């Protein structure tokens, strides 16, 4: 089996719950076609570098996939028909990353630093 990293961006006006249901739908499509989703991460609503289909923001989701190309191709086909998805990208990987992705680790570090700053100010 091959490894893939797949990222998609959903429109800004859909809710986080709807993004989770879209992710579950894609996971089911992959599993029905013989693939396995090793990890799925919701990165949140982020600003886009430029407008895409009149959207300034988008919900980012990462999926690590272990499976045949046919399963990924079927998911991409159905993804292209979904009006809530504004962009997607699939990359074949040599191996899947263990643990959190760099985006979530960076976010956690930022949150930890913000919390530490507040405690330091409160102690003075």
77-112 pLDDT, tens per residue?
999 999 999 999 999 999 887 877 778 778 777 778
| pTM for the predicted model, two decimal places | 0.82
| Residue whose token pair is 């956690």 | 108
The pLDDT tens digits for 30-40 are 999 999 999 99
Closest CA to 21 of 67, 84, 88: 84
Domain coordinates in residue numbering, the chain: 2-98
Closest CA to 105 of 56, 43, 28, 33: 43
CATH number of the 2-98 domain: 3.30.70.60
pLDDT band with cut points at 50, 70 and 90 for residue 124: very low
């Amino acid at each position: 089996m091959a490894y893939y990293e797949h990222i998609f961006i959903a429109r800004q006006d859909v809710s986080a719950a709807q993004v989770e249901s879209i992710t579950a739908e894609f996971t089911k499509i992959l599993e029905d076609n013989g693939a396995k989703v090793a990890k799925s991460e919701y990165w949140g609503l982020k600003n886009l570098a430029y407008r895409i289909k009149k959207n300034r923001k988008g919900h980012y989701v990462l999926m690590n996939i272990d499976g045949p190309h046919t399963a990924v191709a079927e998911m991409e086909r159905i993804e292209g028909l979904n009006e809530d998805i504004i962009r997607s990208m699939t990359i074949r990987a040599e191996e899947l990353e263990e643990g959190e992705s760099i985006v979530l680790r960076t976010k956690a570090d930022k949150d930890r630093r913000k919390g530490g700053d507040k405690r330091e100010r409160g102690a003075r």
